[in-house]
Amino acid sequence: MSGNTFGKNFKVTTFGESHGAALGCVIDGCPSGLKITTEIIQKALNRRKPNAVIDGKVNPAVTMRKEDDCVEILSGVFNDTTEGTPIALLIRNTSQHSSDYENLKNTFRPGHADFTYQEKYGFRDYRGGGRSSGRETAARVAAGAIATEILKKSGIQITAYTIKAAGIEAKEIDFSQIEKNLLRCPDATAAEKMLEKINEIKSKGDSAGGIIECQIQGVPAGLGEPVFDKLDAQLAKAMLSIGAIKGIEFGEGFAAADLLGSENNDCMHEENGKIAFDSNHAGGILGGISNGQTIIFRVAVKPVPSIFIPQNTVCVQDGNVKSTELQIKGRHDVCLCPRIVPVVEAMAALVLADMII
Amino acid sequence: MSGNTFGKNFKVTTFGESHGAALGCVIDGCPSGLKITTEIIQKALNRRKPNAVIDGKVNPAVTMRKEDDCVEILSGVFNDTTEGTPIALLIRNTSQHSSDYENLKNTFRPGHADFTYQEKYGFRDYRGGGRSSGRETAARVAAGAIATEILKKSGIQITAYTIKAAGIEAKEIDFSQIEKNLLRCPDATAAEKMLEKINEIKSKGDSAGGIIECQIQGVPAGLGEPVFDKLDAQLAKAMLSIGAIKGIEFGEGFAAADLLGSENNDCMHEENGKIAFDSNHAGGILGGISNGQTIIFRVAVKPVPSIFIPQNTVCVQDGNVKSTELQIKGRHDVCLCPRIVPVVEAMAALVLADMII
Amino acid sequence: MSGNTFGKNFKVTTFGESHGAALGCVIDGCPSGLKITTEIIQKALNRRKPNAVIDGKVNPAVTMRKEDDCVEILSGVFNDTTEGTPIALLIRNTSQHSSDYENLKNTFRPGHADFTYQEKYGFRDYRGGGRSSGRETAARVAAGAIATEILKKSGIQITAYTIKAAGIEAKEIDFSQIEKNLLRCPDATAAEKMLEKINEIKSKGDSAGGIIECQIQGVPAGLGEPVFDKLDAQLAKAMLSIGAIKGIEFGEGFAAADLLGSENNDCMHEENGKIAFDSNHAGGILGGISNGQTIIFRVAVKPVPSIFIPQNTVCVQDGNVKSTELQIKGRHDVCLCPRIVPVVEAMAALVLADMII
Amino acid sequence: MSGNTFGKNFKVTTFGESHGAALGCVIDGCPSGLKITTEIIQKALNRRKPNAVIDGKVNPAVTMRKEDDCVEILSGVFNDTTEGTPIALLIRNTSQHSSDYENLKNTFRPGHADFTYQEKYGFRDYRGGGRSSGRETAARVAAGAIATEILKKSGIQITAYTIKAAGIEAKEIDFSQIEKNLLRCPDATAAEKMLEKINEIKSKGDSAGGIIECQIQGVPAGLGEPVFDKLDAQLAKAMLSIGAIKGIEFGEGFAAADLLGSENNDCMHEENGKIAFDSNHAGGILGGISNGQTIIFRVAVKPVPSIFIPQNTVCVQDGNVKSTELQIKGRHDVCLCPRIVPVVEAMAALVLADMII
């Protein structure tokens, strides 16, 4: 396996299995002189943690599993300042219950990577998915926190939020609402309905999917490398590298298929001596290069594969394959959207930091 | 600019502007001993050329522009056999009319990369889009022809086709129909309607978008590199690196957002002593690794930005920005789908060849 | 800074400053199914540690500084078996005396990278050289231990040794002697003289250089990638990336400059139905590809720059440059050869593992 | 084979076999706005061509073989200005006599890569060495010409020259003499003696080696990337990637092995308010980073392997290995030094351009 590094200039290599000793990352290429503290990174990690209770309300969307996720900076920072040397970040695994997974030693969970890892490596860390677990994204969020500090200096702001969950759509986009509800939805009313629906799905032992939108503001024109390393191509790779994401679209996206050229083109005009666009159907990217407008994309999040309804699957012992029924135990999220929001932001930050350095 | 190489093992570097001397590519990493002739590559290139007339019918979807696209193998092949050394392929530009583009020297075409290239490089080859032109994909198709020969030896078959164009959807998928109609649509009846609609749009000087689906059959389980170089992440990058593509989805894709976990999970059972899946909602990829099922994805193609309806834009001379109206001349495609189909196949072939070597 | 990764297939990223919290590495690309334990790695690290006393004799060549170098495997190994996922190794810094370096905050040590790091990053971890310290090589040795396990399975054996130190040359190459003397010299008599000479140099507060030779046995023909990633080119890069090494030569090396073609060519003959070489002037590499013979190269090690004789240098405070005299304190090696021997072996192992995977 | 790309930012991919249709390169990452003409590149290529006659004297060191080496710019340059897009350069092979090589179809030339290529690829272009021929360096020199234009803008000047050939050493370094004699030797008197000696060796059908030194002036402090991509490590890789080079040393190089720390350290002092070095034993690089002094290194060039004295070798037909005697025909250089000088300069230019962009 050798695909654990992301980026060319701001290079992040992650490591760690969900139930091993630790997970973390090494960032190679962070400029020297940036102010970085453990607190900055910890704050970002806390956003990824199961947001179990807000305002006294229990969040049905996420697991009650305790994930401490305390980060330690091992290198690359001296006197709270980056040295230009590799920054290594360590997050120890603490409260993982490996015993929950003993029954999965020979059984493949539907919708998970158990089968494909077994096929690829001939050997598998069956404890909670090992490397394929969503826990791996904690290292991405930690690295993303540093990338975000770089972007801040360039005036770039990334905001992701849930626009659909369990079939319920957000009707308005009010950034101020995002962190006020358990779904990270920019529409408070829709958020209420989403929670209701998720509670209902949870009670049946099932799970739900959703759609996350991301806006990147303040990106100067000119980012992105033709022809293969286009900005949208890099963002697409970054997002599809998140386990639960099954699709991405920029600007009008799939809807553009039904538009006429005259409807989809963004015309231009002069405004205060500068070029201005009449619309943003393109989502801020033309020919793979940012055009100075807000970058907008949406990603599809599949329903959590760990459900409590018994499922048909197979069990392999000593090379013998047998059909069996699996009853998943433990604590699992019902809808991943609110926890993937910070991961989407982190991955977008890695893409942009890589290009802006 | 330094994003002109695709792949890590089967590395393809493309070069060339639409109206320069030539375009082409260098492939580094092709194994020795593969049978390759000019004919194999030329045949693939011919599929990308404007398919102007089929069965005596003029194709309204594509330009009548003559693109010779004759390929020459410069290196890496000796006695019709690859040597293991870099394979350089050359396609000279012949019948390009640069004069068609003189009026675009200072004016930015809406929906094109004119503005972003100018911003990025401070200097622009205004003749037909230069490097950002769709002509660049000829080099990809040439490289893809060699990748396809590698995949054939592993029993992998890639088939792309138009499932939507100008708002008309294909209702059935019959592979045998694809090359029989001008839209490369697997549904003959839908293809008729698409052509009709496109003719209507063309008469108004406008253009249309569409959706292309791609099936990859015969992929063994185990391809794809966690965590960042997942198979779907690499395919997403490959597809979004094609100029007109604005989105991608795998398996259920965006529809998965509305499904329950119990609906979206692909259960398994034993079949003839082996593992078999009950369904293929995942589109053949789990945790970024192929699971042995057919890989299925869809991409959104935006309407051609070159339309004959006058558009508002700006003209920049000596640093002065002025609003102006642009009337595009020349010959242009109305709907890119049929010409992008071989490009989608080529890029998919590059991704898989890179992983299978 | 972004040059902290070595290799393309067996990719090693190191991190850590000499007086920070820890140093270590992440290995991406190690195949699954390899038996790896902490002991295997610790044993290799112990060889790099100051070998202060052997057979009751104090080693004048090396520092008495205590470097614990205890390694912890953080990820990638489950049940003593590699998983195919990234292997992260951690070595905490324990007994570093940062206070020894307070006087170097504004003063540049001759022969060290203090000045160049300050120029490059505008900011410097002055505690013991920070990232430029030889301590960084501990992470390389740890990674090399794993690479060595891979090579063992292919029958490849790497042996480095001191053939010159403080001006004294080894006259015979007896592998069995290498680990029996403090210089890692394959000639016991020469080793005695080297130690004597080093003791003499040490008493004057000065330091010495030397030459290390490395033999790689069991390499199959065919390793190395023309034209830029030739086997010798990769080994040269690997060796020159070790701080104290100032030159490398393969086979006859610089002596080949004085030979005739008829003297330097390695003629061939048939032997038991196979090709055999009459000699090995080339050092086992032809056209950048291994030819099946033993690979032989030598590297030049400069004298340790930390000497106890007062030296002229400059001190920079608030941007003002002043000439000054520097008296280095602390504990320092006198001749690096014996401690660099395992680093040379480790780097050679990284090069070969990268090519053989 | 996948090692045909050099550099990370200024990336050069070369292609071509000595007797194929053409050779050339693609440069990805050259900044836009640089003035480049065919003449600039052609002039550099002409320096690499056999310099058969100077001042009416026939040069015994080089072959009389005619190599036209006419370059064509295929892309990336518009109106004599780089566009920021890939620059493809083409050099057609014209006067190659493939028939000279028919007798080498099954026989391996001593000192050449015939055997190793056969082992690696199982298939070999036996016409003049194919990809392993020195002709491949023409593409490097072409790319180097563009890199040199970039360096000129930063005030960096690279000068290589022969300091030893056929056992005769240069005693003085007078840059003005280099291009005035057939050996590119900075010492006119030594050059005379070298030629005499080479004539003598030539008359016996034998060949000679030598040493080339390279000085790089005007390099600012701070170039080079710790820890693996050190400036000297990159230069070492670049030089050892040239076929005939068997060793490299920086500054004092192998002589440093015999020096004391007090002799080898470069002390510093204040000079006009700036830091100045008392000496340059390090060769301009400390800790892998340029220190602002002149960079100096030397490379060992092996004697030309193609000699006219009969040699023992093997012939392989239908898998059967037989001892045989080989009599090489055709036209071959006697000493490569003068022709490698521009290749050394080109490779050094690639390394520095890659780091300075």
Listed range (A11-15, B132-136, C214-218) with the worst mean pLDDT: B132-136
Handedness of CA B313, B317, B321, B324 (dihedral sign): negative
Q: Would you state the pLDDT for residue C53? A: 52
Chain A: closest CA distance from residue D312 (Å): 45
Q: What is the pLDDT of residues C268-323, one digit of tens each?
A: 999 999 999 999 999 999 999 999 999 999 999 999 999 999 999 999 988 899 99
Determine, for residues A28 and C1 on separate chains, whether the beta-carbon distance falls below 8 Å: yes
Average pLDDT over residues D258-267: 98
* Alpha-carbon distance values, C187 to C166, D28, D355 (Å): 15, 51, 43
If contacts are CB pairs under 8 Å, which of residues 61-80 in chain C contact chain D?
A: none
Query: How far apart are the C-alpha atoms of C191 and C180, rounded to whole Å?
Result: 10
pLDDT-based confidence at residue B1 (cuts at 50, 70, 90) = very low
Q: Average the pLDDT over B64-69 and give the result.
A: 65
Do residue D311 and residue C265 have CB atoms under 8 angstroms apart? Answer: yes
pLDDT value at residue D331: 77
**What pLDDT does C1 receive?**
46
Model confidence at A52: pLDDT above 60:
no
Closest CA–CA distance from residue C346 to any residue of chain D (Å): 13
What is the per-residue pLDDT for A1?
45
Query: Quick check: A39 pLDDT over 80?
Result: yes
The backbone torsions φ and ψ at residue D181, rounded to the nearest 5 degrees and listed phi first, read -130, 165
Residue A9 exposed, middle or buried by CB count within 10 Å (0-12, 13-18, 19+): middle
Locate the DSSP E strands across D36-112: 53-54, 57-58, 71-75, 77-78, 81-82, 87-92
> How many residues are recorded in chain B?
357
Q: What is the mean pLDDT of residues B100-125?
A: 88
pLDDT of A311-341, one tens digit each?
999 999 888 999 999 999 877 889 999 999 9
H-assigned helices in chain D: 38-48, 114-121, 137-153, 188-203, 231-240, 261-264, 337-356
What pLDDT sits at residue D66? Answer: 58
C97-123 pLDDT, tens digit per residue, is 666 677 788 899 999 999 999 999 988
Give the mean model confidence (pLDDT) for residues B203-217: 97
pLDDT digits (tens, 9 = 90+) for D157-188: 999 999 999 999 999 999 999 999 999 999 99
The β-bridge partners of A275 are A270
The predicted pLDDT at position B103 comes to 77
The beta strand positions in chain C, using DSSP E, are: 5-6, 11-16, 22-28, 53-54, 57-58, 71-73, 77-78, 81-82, 87-92, 157-165, 168-169, 210-217, 245-250, 268-271, 274-277, 285-286, 289-290, 295-301, 311-317, 320-326
Q: What is the mean pLDDT of residues A288-295?
A: 98
Residue C321 contacts residue D277 (beta carbons within 8 Å):
no
Give the pLDDT confidence score for residue C330 in this predicted structure: 79
Q: What is the pLDDT of residues C170-217, one digit of tens each?
A: 999 999 999 999 999 999 999 999 999 999 999 999 999 999 999 999
User: Over 70: is that where the pLDDT of D28 sits?
Assistant: yes
Confidence of residue C125 (pLDDT cuts 50, 70, 90): confident
- D308-315: average pLDDT: 96
What was the ipTM of the complex prediction?
A: 0.96
The band of A125, judged by pLDDT with boundaries at 50, 70 and 90, is confident
Q: Is B106 on the interface with C (CB under 8 A)?
A: no
D284 contacts chain B (CB < 8 A): no
Helix (H, G, I), strand (E, B) or coil at B141: helix
Question: For residue B354, what are its two tokens?
Answer: 């890179």
Q: What is the pLDDT of residue A123?
A: 80
Q: Is the pLDDT score of D153 beyond 50? A: yes
| D301: three-class secondary structure by DSSP | strand
Q: Which of A116-125, A143-152, B242-251 has the lowest mean pLDDT?
A: A116-125
pLDDT computed for residue D128 by the predictor: 79
Give chain C's mean pLDDT. Answer: 93
CB < 8 Å to D14, chain B: 86
Distances (CA, A) of B291 to A212, B1, B129: 26, 36, 40
Q: What is the largest CA-CA distance in chain C?
A: 74
pLDDT above 60 for B164 = yes
Residue D55's pLDDT band, with cuts at 50, 70 and 90, is low
The pLDDT value given to residue B55: 53
pLDDT at B54: 54
Q: Taking CB atoms and an 8 Å cut-off, how many pairs form between chains A and C? A: 158
A287 Cβ under 8 Å from any chain D Cβ:
no
The verdict on a CB contact (< 8 Å) between C206 and D300 is no
Q: What integer pLDDT is reported at residue A240 of this predicted model?
A: 98
With cut-offs at 50, 70 and 90, classify the pLDDT of residue B95: low
Q: Could you write out the DSSP letters of every residue in A151-197?
A: HHHTT-EEEEEEEEETTEEP----GGGGGGSTT--S-HHHHHHHHHH
| pLDDT score, position C68 | 79
Residue with token string 């911003």: B119
Which of A20-29, B32-41, B327-336 is least confident?
Answer: B327-336
pLDDT at B48: 87
C11 has a chain A CB within 8 A of its CB: yes
Chains that touch A (3 or more CB pairs under 8 A): B, C, D
Percentage of chain A beyond pLDDT 90 is 84
When mean pLDDT is compared across A48-57, A93-102, A115-124, the lowest value belongs to: A48-57
Q: Write down the pLDDT at residue A319.
A: 84
Average pLDDT along chain D: 93
A303 falls in which pLDDT band (50, 70, 90)? very high
Q: With an 8 Å Cβ cutoff, is A311 touching chain B?
A: yes
Report chain A residues whose CB lies below 8 A from the CB of C13.
5, 13, 26, 28, 86
Residue of A25, A38, A73, A75 to mutate, interface with C, max C Cβ within 10 Å = A75
Distance from CA of A81 to the nearest CA of B (A): 28
CB atoms B306 and A261 under 8 Å: yes
Handedness of CA D169, D171, D177, D178 (dihedral sign): positive
B275 → closest Cβ in A3, A4, A321: A321
pLDDT at D49: 81
Between helices D38-48 and D337-356, what is the axis angle to 10°?
140
What pLDDT sits at residue A63? 65
Percent of chain A with pLDDT over 70: 94
Residue B282 forms beta bridges with which residues? none
Instruction: Quote the crossing angle between the two packed helices A337-356 and A231-240, to the nearest 10°.
Output: 140
A259 touches chain B (CB under 8 A): yes
Nearest to residue A137, comparing CAs of B291, B228, B224, C88? B228
Residues of C in Cβ contact (< 8 Å) with B226: 85
pLDDT at A54 over 70: no
Enumerate the H helices of D122-257 as residue ranges. Answer: 137-153, 188-203, 231-240
Q: What is the mean pLDDT of chain B?
A: 93
Contacts of D200 (CB under 8 A, 6+ apart): none
Averaged over D103-117, what is the pLDDT? 91
For a pLDDT cut of 90, what percent of chain B falls above it? 84
Please name the residue of chain C whose CA is at the shortest distance from the CA of residue D230.
Answer: C241
Give the rounded percent of residues in chain C with a pLDDT score beyond 90.
84
User: Residue B100: what pLDDT?
Assistant: 67
- C residues 160-219 closer than 8 Å to A (CB): none
* Tokens 């210089």 belong to residue: C183
Q: How far is CA B205 from CA B196, B199, B329, C223, in A?
A: 15, 10, 11, 59
Instruction: State how far the Cα of D79 lies from the Cα of B353, in Å rounded to an integer.
Output: 38
- A253-290 b/e with 16+ CB inside 10 Å = b? bbbbbbbbbbebbbbbbbeeeebebeeebbbbbbbbbb
Find which of D237, D328, D355, D356 to mutate to test the C interface (most C CBs within 10 Å of its CB). D237
Q: Centre a 10 Å sphere on the Cβ of residue D169 and count the other Cβ atoms it contains.
A: 17
Closest CA to D166 of D190, D133, D137, D186: D190
Q: How far is D6 from chain C (nearest CA, A)?
A: 6
Q: What is the pLDDT of residue B123?
A: 80
Q: Is D226 an 8 Å CB contact of chain A?
A: yes
Residues of B with CB below 8 A from D120's CB?
Answer: 84
**For range A127-152, the mean pLDDT:** 94
Question: CA–CA separation, D333 vs D340, rounded Å?
Answer: 11
pLDDT in the model for residue D106: 87
Enter the tokens of residue B318. 């000596």
Calculate mean pLDDT across residues D57-84. 82
Yes or no, beta carbons of D16 and B121 under 8 Å apart: no
For testing the chain D interface, which of B10, B74, B124 should be mutated: the one with the most D CBs within 10 Å? B74
Put simply, whether B85 touches C (Cβ < 8 Å) is yes
Distance from CA of B335 to the nearest CA of A (A): 10
pLDDT of residue B97 exceeding 90: no
